[in-house]
């Protein structure tokens, strides 16, 4: 009975409405989407991301504290001052069976074009902790499931890895799709930047030419302080993307470092030079070049390091019939 009740708490109580009505959170419509809702608390500054998992449970995680995540039970236990699970149950029982208005009534927003990049991504994306294609590139489950990358990548029904692009105000502009022998970008979308979750205490920004390289760099160089964020331009940046980078640099915490972890080829070296010139225009921001040694990019390095892990995986077949290890 108690387990059934816990299941109802986690699945039947809409966490977005609950957090807004009971604890005073407000939904940020600019950063939210159909599948992922960003909530902020105006008094405490707390910022959480809420979504519904495949098992039907509402879950959340805090972008300020990696330890603060879970279901509505965890949410209430951390914010309600409860000393026991029994008192958490007592609070949540009051909310079961309540009829709630439509989601947009929490904070109204104008209607969206159903063919917008955000809508296309929401329809295609399946949020998961693993992806066969990304594992075949040497990325481990621990990396893909790191809270730093929550909601920044997904998988579609064909097994393609999707990397969502957002501008500097959090609006979805499109997404990159990758699989064996295949790289594409969402029709009608435009490249801005794939970005990891931003923390208030971040002190470093790693820039790469692909999201896979950013994830690879993270796995190869874990930051014990968890103060590093990541950004990918998905290839050579356009002038619009350079403008975006300049705005992002200008908002970095003073004494932060911009790290150009782009490819170790002529184009990459030229790009690193342009990033350095951009960083030098921002006061109190340092620059560092981090080129992969003996490889073109950071995923090449990772695949070399994770050779045994990749060999332990079942063969992955892509649209062109090649295994990833034959790539």
DSSP 57-87: -EEEEESS-TT-EEEHHHHHHHHS--SSHHH
Please report the pLDDT score of residue 102 as a whole number.
45
CB < 8 Å & 24+ apart, contacts of 137-140: 137/212, 137/216, 137/299, 137/302, 137/303, 137/310, 137/324, 138/216, 138/219, 138/299, 138/302, 138/303, 138/305, 138/306, 138/309, 138/310, 139/212, 139/215, 139/216, 139/219, 139/302, 140/219, 140/306, 140/309
Instruction: Give DSSP secondary structure letters for 100-115.
Output: ---GGGTS------TT
Q: Outline where DSSP puts E strands in 167-250.
A: 172-179, 182-185, 194-195, 204-208, 228-232
In tens digits, the chain (327 residues) has pLDDT values of: 456 788 888 988 889 888 887 778 888 888 888 788 999 887 778 899 999 888 889 999 998 888 889 999 999 888 876 767 877 887 787 666 544 444 444 444 444 444 678 888 888 888 888 899 999 999 999 999 998 998 899 998 889 999 999 988 888 899 999 999 888 888 778 999 999 998 889 999 999 999 999 999 999 999 999 999 999 999 999 999 999 999 999 999 999 999 999 999 999 999 999 999 999 999 999 999 999 999 999 999 999 999 999 999 998 765 433 334 333
CB atoms < 10 A from the CB of 182, how many? Answer: 13
Please report the pLDDT score of residue 114 as a whole number.
47
Of 163, 160, 159, 161, nearest to 174 by C-alpha is 163
């Amino acid at each position: 009975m108690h387990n059934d009740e816990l299941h109802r708490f986690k699945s039947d109580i809409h966490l977005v409405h609950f957090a807004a009505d009971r604890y005073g959170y407000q939904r940020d419509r600019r950063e939210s989407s159909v599948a992922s809702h960003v909530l902020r608390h105006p008094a405490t500054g707390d910022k959480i991301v809420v979504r519904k998992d495949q098992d039907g449970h509402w879950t959340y995680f805090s972008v300020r504290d990696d330890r603060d995540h879970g279901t509505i039970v965890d949410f209430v236990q951390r914010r309600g001052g409860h000393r026991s699970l029994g008192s958490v149950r007592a609070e949540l029982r009051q909310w079961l069976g309540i009829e709630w208005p439509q989601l947009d009534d929490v904070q109204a927003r104008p209607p969206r074009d159903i063919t917008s990049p955000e809508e296309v991504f929401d329809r295609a994306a399946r949020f998961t902790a693993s992806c066969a294609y990304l594992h075949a590139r040497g990325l481990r489950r621990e990396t893909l499931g790191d809270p730093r990358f929550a909601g920044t990548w997904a998988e579609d029904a064909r097994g393609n890895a999707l990397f969502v692009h957002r501008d500097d105000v959090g609006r979805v502009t499109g997404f990159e799709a990758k699989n064996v022998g295949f790289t594409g970008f969402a029709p009608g979308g435009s490249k801005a930047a794939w970005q990891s979750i931003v923390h208030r205490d971040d002190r470093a920004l790693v820039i790469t030419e692909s999201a896979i390289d950013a994830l690879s760099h993270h796995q190869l160089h874990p930051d014990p302080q968890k103060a590093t964020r990541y950004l990918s331009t998905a290839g050579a940046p356009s002038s619009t993307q350079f403008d975006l980078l300049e705005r992002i640099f200008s908002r970095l915490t003073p004494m932060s470092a911009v790290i150009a972890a782009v490819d170790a080829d002529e184009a990459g070296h030229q790009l690193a030079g342009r990033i350095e010139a951009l960083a030098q225009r921002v006061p109190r921001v340092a620059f560092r070049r981090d080129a992969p040694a003996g490889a073109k990019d950071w995923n090449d390095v990772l695949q070399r390091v994770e050779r045994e892990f990749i060999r332990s995986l079942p063969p992955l077949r892509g649209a062109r019939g090649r295994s990833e290890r034959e790539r």
